[in-house]
Structure 1
Amino acid sequence: MSKVIIVGAGPAGATMAYLLARAGVDTTLLERETNFDRVFRGEAMMPLGLEALEQMGLGISQLPHRRIDSWDMHVANRLIFQVAEPQTELGSRAVCVLSQPAFLTHVTNLARQFPNFRLLQGATVRDLGMENGRFSHITATHNGQPFTQTADLIIGCDGRGSVVRTRANIKLNLLPESYDVLWFRFPAPAALRGQTSVYLMGSVRNTALAYNSHDNHMRYALLLPKGGYDRQRDWVDEMAEPAPSWLADHLQTVRSQISEPSKLNVIVGRAASWHKPGLLLLGDAAHPMSPIRAQGI
């Protein structure tokens, strides 16, 4: 039986592991974190992504999610236009926000039904090894204990800062990006419970995005110029500055319940090669993308 090691149990790694295990391949999925409840994980699902999940047999109907109702553009605190999402036309492929921890738990639980699948959480890959001109094994630690594991194929799904890509000496060709994103979470106003519009907000000083997620907590993304996070400031006031008045007032009301910011270091580029003998890169490890209108998970 062929042996595959997948590094990174994000959406790309988890779904690939499930498909390989279902096909009878001996599959080991390594994840650095000890659980899927990271502070922030992308949530948006676009129609083509939902279609791909359906083709894999991984529908999301039983998972925590909510369809997007509309896109509302605000400039200088004023609503400029509103575009409704075509939910009826798209059907099961309608744009939605999805709990990524729930999705990853669901996919890995499905994979666990196959005896040829193994998930190691708390596993950190340190290096790659070669034999006869091809990548043949990884060295890693699991819960602090070192180990080595061989494979016929090593798949790097370990994100924009991919250790697999770095250790394989594959160059990442970067595109210039001049911003980072700070994500915040806080209780949604009562008037928004059960509905989800995406609010795009811009002013001379700030650009931001917000939406009410599946758990009736809002997600708020504040775009910053590179290095902007290093300058200490009142983030709630910065969040309120481009927002419509109702949201600005709500931010002040729930000030004490707003999470600490989670910083996304925006990197956009493409690996010079996505593969070498015995090795493959997928997802952000191969092509880190901008979060602007990206797939989201």
Structure 2
Amino acid sequence: MAGLSPDVVIVGGGIAGGTMATILARNGLEVVVLERETIYPDRVRGEWIAPWGVVEFKRLGLIDLLYENGAIDVQRNVPYDENWSPEVAEQRALDFRNLLPEIPGAICIGHPTMCNVFSASAKESGAHVLTGIKKIEVTAGSGPTVAFSSNGQTVQLRPRVVIGADGRNSAVRKQLGFPVLADEPHNLLGGMLVANVPDWPRQVQAIGTEDRFHYFVFPQGKDMVRLYACYDFADRAKFAGPDREARLLQAFRLNCLPYSEAILGGLPVSTFNSYSNEDHWVDDPTTTGIVLIGDAAGHNDPITGQGLSIAARDVRIVSDILISTKNLDRVDFLPYVEERRERMRRLRITGRLATKLRVEFGDEARHRRARVSQRSMQRQLSPLPATLIGPERLPAEAYLPETIEKLIAP
């Protein structure tokens, strides 16, 4: 155990917390990580890293860790969709290798694998990682405190700064009263890990819509794929009950998807659970002595899969501040607050458009999706590339209402 006054206490030892602990400890800071889990469970989130997020992990010096632990380069997205035949969809495929020259594409890697990788790297770098922690209580101020229970003993730490990296239901955020803003829930999204699908090409992902079903297929290690389904609240009953895993597999009997039979022959190796998907955000994720990162600071609508990329950017910016600043004050985190505020605003706009295109159903919605796809291929200005190359790489005009209206207009 570290001393009672470490430089940093990180509440949450998942992907964001473990990544942050690794970077800070490598740079000589005394770091304590508090994690409630003793074994990281398989969760329906955090397995696809967008190309711009891959760049962030590379800048952090952590990309090799991912490859060493089974990360897969995903080179192409094929839009198998009811609007065109599989052959046409393959002609319309997007090659991720052409987007950002410094990386080969997107990455897929399992959520618990990433948690374990970065927890181990944090320990190897010198961080003190405590698991099975209970009753965490955080107080803000120029001398913040963190009290917790470990093995039946109560401990109190007095670090320079506390980092809340404890996910979407952040206890740190709730205890300190950070106001959370949110869009209205608009549909449900869930996922399931499936084995015995060896025919799925390892460097290809697929995203599409057929009838009232929006789907994603992402390759995982060995013969596994992660299936995601996004559907209307009115269709909740279709994917509920004790046989919901079998129902989800059957939903992939799609005319637009040439590998549907291979998926139907798969074996579910996790439960299927779905959640409402919408944006949640904290306008200023800092207070005196406290910084929130990752999902604790607010998360983007998961329909565009930005969570890991957002977390990596958060870690890079906040760690740079902590490493370079000796006498921290809340104002030192202003660059992080301002950059994240604009980043998340742009991603919210993009996510709302993606939802309108993908998870509204019927003839009008289908024609709209086809129009926008064609206009995007013709390079009409759109916010949608933000989810691949990063929101800051597009001009501000891409996010204006008139730009989006022009993009989707009949």
Secondary structure of residue in 2 paired with 1:19: helix
* Match of residue 225 from structure 1: 232
* Match of residue 155 from structure 1: 163
In the TM superposition, residue 262 of structure 1 has moved relative to its aligned partner by: 3.2
Task: Select which of 197, 203, 210 maps to 1:203.
Answer: 210
1:190/1:114 CA distance change after superposition, 3 Å: closer
Secondary structure of residue in 2 paired with 1:113: helix
TM-score by length of 1: 0.84
**Over aligned residue pairs, what C-alpha RMSD do you find?**
2.9
Matching of residue 294 in structure 1 with residue 305 in structure 2: yes
Contact residue 188 and residue 212 of structure 1 kept, 8 A: no
Which has more strand, going by share of residues?
1
* Match of residue 66 from structure 1: 72
CA distance in 2, matches of 1:129, 1:236: 44
Task: Select which of 251, 256, 261 maps to 1:249.
Answer: 261
Task: Select which of 19, 22, 33 maps to 2:23.
Answer: 19
In the TM superposition, residue 289 of structure 1 has moved relative to its aligned partner by: 1.1
1:122/1:239 CA distance change after superposition, 3 Å: farther
In the TM superposition, residue 114 of structure 1 has moved relative to its aligned partner by: 4.2
In the TM superposition, residue 64 of structure 1 has moved relative to its aligned partner by: 0.5
In the TM superposition, residue 74 of structure 1 has moved relative to its aligned partner by: 2.4
Secondary structure of residue in 2 paired with 1:15: helix
Contact residue 30 and residue 119 of structure 1 kept, 8 A: yes
1:127/1:224 CA distance change after superposition, 3 Å: farther
Contact residue 46 and residue 93 of structure 1 kept, 8 A: no
Task: Write the letter of the residue equivalent to 1:21.
Answer: A
Contact residue 128 and residue 135 of structure 1 kept, 8 A: no
In the TM superposition, residue 129 of structure 1 has moved relative to its aligned partner by: 2.7
Contact residue 300 and residue 306 of structure 2 kept, 8 A: no
CA distance in 1, matches of 2:249, 2:222: 24
1:54/1:73 CA distance change after superposition, 3 Å: closer
Secondary structure of residue in 2 paired with 1:81: helix
Secondary structure of residue in 1 paired with 2:89: strand
In the TM superposition, residue 247 of structure 1 has moved relative to its aligned partner by: 3.8
Contact residue 211 and residue 219 of structure 1 kept, 8 A: yes
* Match of residue 47 from structure 2: 43
Cα deviation digits, residues 205-244 of structure 1 (max 9, x gap): 2111112212320110011335854663652365225464
TM-score by length of 2: 0.63
1:152/1:190 CA distance change after superposition, 3 Å: closer
Task: Report the more deviating stretch, 37-46 or 2-11.
Answer: 37-46
Contact residue 269 and residue 287 of structure 1 kept, 8 A: yes
In the TM superposition, residue 137 of structure 1 has moved relative to its aligned partner by: 1.4
Task: Select which of 236, 239, 242 maps to 2:251.
Answer: 239
In the TM superposition, residue 54 of structure 1 has moved relative to its aligned partner by: 2.0
* Match of residue 183 from structure 1: 191
Task: Report the more deviating stretch, 274-283 or 238-247.
Answer: 238-247
Secondary structure of residue in 2 paired with 1:67: strand
1:273/1:145 CA distance change after superposition, 3 Å: same
CA distance in 2, matches of 1:279, 1:227: 41
Matching of residue 99 in structure 1 with residue 116 in structure 2: no
Task: Select which of 24, 35, 42 maps to 1:31.
Answer: 35
CA distance in 1, matches of 2:257, 2:185: 30
Task: Report the more deviating stretch, 10-19 or 89-98.
Answer: 89-98
1:122/1:41 CA distance change after superposition, 3 Å: farther
Secondary structure of residue in 2 paired with 1:166: helix
CA distance in 2, matches of 1:146, 1:226: 44
In the TM superposition, residue 40 of structure 1 has moved relative to its aligned partner by: 4.0
The total of aligned residue pairs comes to 292
1:106/1:185 CA distance change after superposition, 3 Å: closer
Task: Write the letter of the residue equivalent to 1:65.
Answer: A
1:236/1:149 CA distance change after superposition, 3 Å: same
In the TM superposition, residue 187 of structure 1 has moved relative to its aligned partner by: 2.1
Matching of residue 121 in structure 1 with residue 127 in structure 2: no
Secondary structure of residue in 2 paired with 1:92: coil
Contact residue 77 and residue 96 of structure 2 kept, 8 A: no
Cα deviation digits, residues 9-46 of structure 1 (max 9, x gap): 22221111112212222211111211234344422122
CA distance in 2, matches of 1:215, 1:230: 32
CA distance in 2, matches of 1:272, 1:85: 35
